Homo-oligomer: A and B are copies of this chain.
Amino acid sequence: MSLLTVGSVAFDAIETPFGKTDKIIGGAGTYIALAASFYNNKQNIVSVVGEDFPEEMLNQLKNRNVNLEGLQIKKGEKTFFWSGKYHNDMNSRDTLVTELNVLEHFNPTIPDSYQGCDYLMLGNLSPQVQRQVIERLTVRPKLIAMDTMNFWMDIAMDDLKETLKLIDVLIINDEEARQLSNEYALVKAAKVIRAMGPKYLIIKKGEHGALLFHGDHMFFAPALPLEEVFDPTGAGDTFAGGFMGYIASTQDISFESMKRAIINGSALASFCVEEFGTERLMNITKKDLEERIEEFVALTNFDMVQVIS
């Protein structure tokens, strides 16, 4: 079915303990669309780039059945650029450069051909832009998922809370959940956040896996323990893209289906961190993904025969 992704298509420059890159392709929208392309969906993207963005990458997305009609290319302007340096533990990073460029005055436009899309993934952007997209859709999608970050909690909390009322699934990390809820324990944080609107909450804990909360239900999926995390950039967006790509292709928004979607997102994210940027995602096959999902099953599967007597 049709999945609409809204998110940045951008340049990153990354430094990790293992090396550093020049400007490479990044952006939440890019990672989400790439991850979702492993499933059988009609994909649309709403985003903006400058005229400096390489046509080759746009063709790669087209080849993966991503419709780029909603991707604005601003003549005479430059693409969003972020540069960061990861610390030795790979869990924290310093932002070195943020050049908003085309994102500064981004006004999302929804082509007619996108109207009626079934599933919507709002990548991390200003909550105002995220809300504009929802408002500009003539029919509400069956499921709206969204990412956000501490930055918007610091400078636009009211706006963020308005947008949270309109969505179904919030996908954030543990630090963000703590800041948004003012609660340290994630079980308590989840209650507070779900009272803000989202019926489903996914809290990503990086190398420690992810939790899904809905009603009285809770599901936990581990991250795959890896020998080496080469570059964590984009792992969260890849997770979200895998999650929504799976949901859209199955058209099943039950809790059981969401569990499987989280395993799919986790599996794709485990590839993402193996090389710089989008490199690994561009080179894996559906078979690679299936094999990795088998690893997740082996990692977590147990058969409880209780023998307390």
Give the interface of A toward B (CB within 8 A): 38-40, 89, 184-188, 205, 208-209, 211, 217-222, 225-229, 246, 249-250, 256, 259-260, 263, 286, 289-290, 293, 297-300, 302-309
Contact = CB atoms under 8 A, between A and B. Distances in A.
Given A219-B302, A222-B209, A309 B187 contact: no
A218 B298 CA distance: 8
Identical copies in the complex: 2
A225 to B, nearest CB: 5
A35 B306 CA distance: 15
Nearest to A294: B304
A9 to B, nearest CB: 25
Contacts of A305: 260
Contacts of A246: 307
B308 A304 contact: no
B307 A249 contact: yes
Given A302-B259, A304-B260, A304-B293, A184 B225 contact: no
Contacts of A303: 256, 260
Nearest to A225: B187
B227 A307 contact: no
B225 A299 contact: no
A228 B185 contact: yes
A124 to B, nearest CB: 24
A308 B227 contact: no
Nearest to A88: B184
List of 8 A-B pairs having minimum Cβ-Cβ separation, nearest first = A259-B302, A208-B208, A220-B222, A40-B309, A187-B227, A286-B308, A187-B225, A220-B299
Given A39-B307, A259-B302, 6 more contacts: A205-B208, A208-B209, A209-B209, A260-B303, A260-B305, A293-B304
